[in-house]
Amino acid sequence: MSKIKPSQGAAYARIMGVGGYRPTRVVPNEVILETIDSSDEWIRSRSGIATRHWASEEETVAAMSIEASGKAIADAGITPEQIGAVIVSTVSHFKQTPAIATEIAHKIGAGKPAAFDISAGCAGFGYGLTLAKGLIVEGSAEYVLVIGVERLSDLTDLHDRATAFLFGDGAGAVVVGPSKAPAIGPTVWGSEGDKSETIKQTVAWDEFHADRPEKFPAITQEGQAVFRWAVFEMAKVAQQALDAAGITPEDLDVFIPHQANMRIIDSMVKTLKLPEHVTVARDVETTGNTSAASIPLAMERLLATGQAKSGDTALVIGFGAGLVYAATVVTLP
**Calpha distance 298→257 (Å, rounded):** 9
Beta strands in 240-298 (DSSP E): 254-257, 279-280
**Calpha distance 265→263 (Å, rounded):** 5
| Known catalytic residue at 122 | yes
Catalytic residue among 29, 53, 93, 122: 122
Residues sharing a CB contact under 8 Å with residue 304, sequence separation 6 or more, in sequence order: none
Give yes or no for a contact between 286 and 51, defined as CB atoms under 8 angstroms apart. Answer: yes
Catalytic residue among 53, 258, 261, 277: 258
Of the chain, the end-to-end C-alpha distance in Å amounts to: 41
| Known catalytic residue at 93 | no
Closest CA to 226 of 171, 315, 297, 163: 163
What is the enclosing helix (H) or strand (E) of 272?
helix 262-272
**Calpha distance 210→99 (Å, rounded):** 24
Instruction: Give catalytic residues, as residue numbers.
Output: 122, 258, 289
